[in-house]
Chain A
Amino acid sequence: MKLLIIEDEQGLRDNIVQFLSKEQYIVEAAVDFHSAMEKVSLYDYDCILLDVGLPDGDGLNLLKALKSKRKRDNVIIISAKDSLDDKLEGLELGADDYLTKPFHLAELNARIKAVLRRKALGGRNVVTLNNMELDFDGRVLTIDGIDIHLNRKEFDILAFFVVNKNRLIHKSALAEHVWGDHMDNADNFDFIYSQIKNLRKKLKNYGANLEIQAIYGVGYKLTV
C-alpha cells in the first residue's frame, strides 16, 4: 500500500510518517501544494492524506485536479477547520473522509484502514484476525464461524482495537472514536472500562484468540 501525506507542518508530518511506518505502508510526504501536485500527477497512491490549508494553494484544488484526471486515489482530508461546510465540500468533491485537527493517531489509522478496506479487491468489508472475523458492513462478529451478538458500541470498540492491534491505545482516543464528543469527562473512563469488561467477557466466552489488555491509567492494548 502506498500512501502520500500532504502536510506543511513538519511536526505533524513526522508524527504521521513515524506512526504509519509500523503498518508496512510505503509512505511518501509532500510539504506544499506544488510538490504534491507533482507527485500525484506522476504516481498513483492508495490513500492520500491531504491538509487543505497549505501555504501555497488550496488543498481542495488538488482534490479537484485529482478527480478531473479520473485518478482513483482515495483521499482523507485533514483540516484545522472544524467547519461543516468545508467537510461537506470536501466530501462532495470526492474525498473519502474528513478528519479535524487535532486527532489521535489511532483514529487516523482507523480511518486509513477503513478507506483501504473499501478499496480492496473483492469489496468485502471484512477483517479477519485469528479465529475472528469482523464484517464492517453488516457490523457482525463471527468467532469460529459463529455469529456473536455485540451491541453497536461494543462492535465499535472491538473494531477500533482490531485495526490498531498491538498498539497502545490511549483511553481518550478510544472514547472519542466510539462516543464522539459525547464523552469528554475523565470520570467517564470508568464507564469505558466497564464497557470493555463486558466485551472481554463475551470474547472469552466464545473463545476468541486474543486479549484486550488494560494498562492502568493509560489505556488499552489488543494483543494477538
Chain B
Amino acid sequence: MKLLNHTLLYLSASLVFILSIWAVIFYFSMMDEVYDSIDDGIANYKILIIKKARQDTTLLNKRNFGESNYAIRPIERENALRATEVFKDTAMYMEYEEEFELVRMLTTYFSTDDNRYYELKIIASMVEEDDLVADLLHALLWLYLAVIASAFIINNWVLRKIWRPFYQLQHELRGFRLGEDKVFNPPQTKVSEFRDMNNTVAELLKANIAVFQNQKHFIENASHELQTPLAISLNKLELLLEQIQGEDTQAQLLANAIQHLERMTRLNKSLLLLSKIENKQFSKEEYVDFNVRLQQQIEDFSELLQYKRINLAVAEQARLKLLFNVDLADVLISNLLKNAIVHNHEEGRIDITVTTNGFEIANTGKAQALEPEKIFTRFYRSTDYPSSTGLGLAIVKAIAQRYQANVAYRYDGGMHRIVFSTRQLI
C-alpha cells in the first residue's frame, strides 16, 4: 500500500469517528438553541396576549386556535393556582403540510382584573426533527467526502512535493549496483530528515563500495601473486620428473602433483578472468559474428566430440552479430560448449540453435534438472567432475552481465538447455 493510501486510510477512519461525535454534539446544541429561541418567542407572545386580553375581553372567548396560534379557556381558581406554566412538544394538524406536525406549546394561566382565571395555550411551529436529522446527516456525508477528497488531493500534492527527495533516493538506489563504476549522487534536499537519510545511505554505500573494491583487489592481487610461485613449483616438478624418468610410483606421484598444480593454475586464471571481466578490462569491441565463432569452436572441439561419440547439430535460424569483445565471445562460447561436452554422456546429443537475439546450447546428460539459480554461481560444481574449476558458468554469467545479456538454464525434453539472449539491437 502506498504511503498516500495509508494516510488516507487512517484519516478516513478517524474522521468517521470525529465527525460522528461532532454531529451529535452539534445536533443537541443546535436543538437547545432552537428551543430556547422558540420558547422565548412564545413567552413574549404570552405577555402581549395577556396585556391585550385585559383591554379587549372578546379575546377571552377565543376557545380554539383556529387561524391564530393561541386559545383561552376559563378554569377554576384552585386549578389555576395549582398548575404551573409548562412548555411541551405536541402534535397538531397542519393544513399546509396536511399532516400532524410537531409544535411547541406553552400552557400558562392568568387572571383578569375581575378575578377570573383562564388557561392560555400558545403554539409555535417547531423545527421538524426528522427532517433536520436527515439534512444534518446528508450534510455530514458531503462534508466527509469533501474532506477525504481534499485530503487526497492535498496529500497527493504534498507527498509528491515533500517526498520528492525520497523518491529520488529510491530511484538512485534502484539503479545502483555494487561493482559498477557508477557514482552515487544523493538528491539535494532541505528537509533535514531526508538529508540525514541521504547522508547515512551515502556513507553506507561508500563503506560497501570500499569493502567490495578491497575484496576485488584482494582476489586480483592474490591470483596475480600466485602465478609466479605456481610457475616455479610447476617447473621444478617437471624438472624433477625428467630426472626421475620412468614408470615408477615416484614419477606418478609427481605427475599427480603437477596435475593438481595445473588445476590451481586454471582456477587462478579463471578468477583473474572474472575480475577482468567485472573490471571491464576487455574494452575493445567490434561486431562479432557468433555463427562463425560457434562453427570455429565446434571445429576445435571436433576430436573430443568424436571421441565421446556426441552428435552435435547446429540450427542457424538467423545470423547473430553482436557488438562484443572477440575474446570474451570466444570464452563465452567455448565455456558453454565445453560444459555441454563434459557433462554429456557417451553417444549423447548437443543441439545448438542460433536465433536473432541469442543462442541456445542444449545437451543430454544426467536425467535430472540442475538448480537453475545455483549453476551460475562461483564454485558450483557437480560431484561427478571434481576436477572442474566450478567457474566456467560463473564466467559465462559475468560476460552476459557485462553485455546486459541474459543467461538462463532450464531442463526440458530430457536436455539441459542454456540460453544466451541479448537485448542488443542489431
A residues adjacent to B (C-beta < 8 A): 9, 11-12, 15-16, 18-19, 80-85, 101-106, 151, 153, 167-168, 170-173, 179, 181-188, 191, 194-195, 215-219
Contacts and interface: CB of A to CB of B under 8 A. Distances in A.
19 contacts: A11-B229, A16-B235, A19-B235, A19-B242, A80-B228, A85-B281, A101-B228, A102-B231, A103-B231, A106-B238, A167-B242, A168-B241, A168-B245, A170-B238, A170-B241, A170-B258, A171-B255, A191-B307, A215-B246
Contacts of B266: 184
B169 to A, nearest CB: 39
A170 B255 contact: yes
Contact of A191 (B228, B258, B303, B387): B303
A18 to B, nearest CB: 6
B269 interface: yes
Given A101-B227, A187-B385, A218-B251, 16 more contacts: A82-B273, A101-B230, A102-B230, A104-B238, A106-B238, A153-B303, A168-B241, A173-B238, A182-B300, A184-B263, A184-B387, A185-B342, A191-B303, A191-B304, A215-B246, A218-B241
Contacts of A84: 282, 327
Nearest to A198: B303
Given A172-B259, A182-B300, A218-B251, A102 B265 contact: yes
A188 B228 contact: no
B12 interface: no
Contacts of B280: none
A102 B247 CA distance: 26
Given A11-B236, A18-B239, A182-B334, A195 B303 contact: yes
Nearest to A13: B232
Nearest to B252: A217
Of residues B241, B269, B389, which shows the largest number of chain A Cβ atoms within 10 Å of its Cβ?
Answer: B241
Nearest to A191: B307
B45 to A, nearest CB: 110
Given A217-B256, A218-B251, A101 B238 contact: no
B199 to A, nearest CB: 39
A102 B234 contact: yes
Contacts of A15: 232, 235-236, 238-239
A153 to B, nearest CB: 6
A100 to B, nearest CB: 8
Contact of B247 (A81, A191, A216): A216
A219 B245 CA distance: 11
A78 B200 CA distance: 48
B127 interface: no
Contacts of A151: 303
Across the A-B interface, give the 9 residue pairs with the lowest CB-CB distance, nearest first. A102-B231, A11-B232, A15-B235, A218-B255, A101-B231, A80-B227, A217-B252, A186-B387, A191-B307
A158 to B, nearest CB: 14
A151 B261 CA distance: 31
B85 interface: no
Contacts of B262: 172, 184
Contacts of A216: 247, 252
A168 B263 CA distance: 20
Interface in B92-129: none
Nearest to B276: A83
Nearest to B272: A82
B307 A102 contact: no
Contacts of B235: 12, 15-16, 19, 102, 104-105
A182 B392 CA distance: 11
Contacts of B230: 101-102
Interface in B283-337: 300-301, 303-304, 307-308, 327, 334
B375 to A, nearest CB: 17
Contacts of B238: 15, 19, 104-106, 170, 173
A80 B232 CA distance: 12
Nearest to B281: A83
Nearest to B242: A168
Contacts of B236: 11, 15
Contacts of A185: 342, 385, 387-388
A198 to B, nearest CB: 10
A38 to B, nearest CB: 24
A171 B262 CA distance: 11
B231 A217 contact: no
Contacts of B308: 191
Contact of B224 (A80, A186, A188): A80
A181 B334 contact: yes
A12 B259 contact: no
Contacts of A186: 259, 387
Contacts of B388: 184-185
A45 to B, nearest CB: 21
A140 B273 CA distance: 36
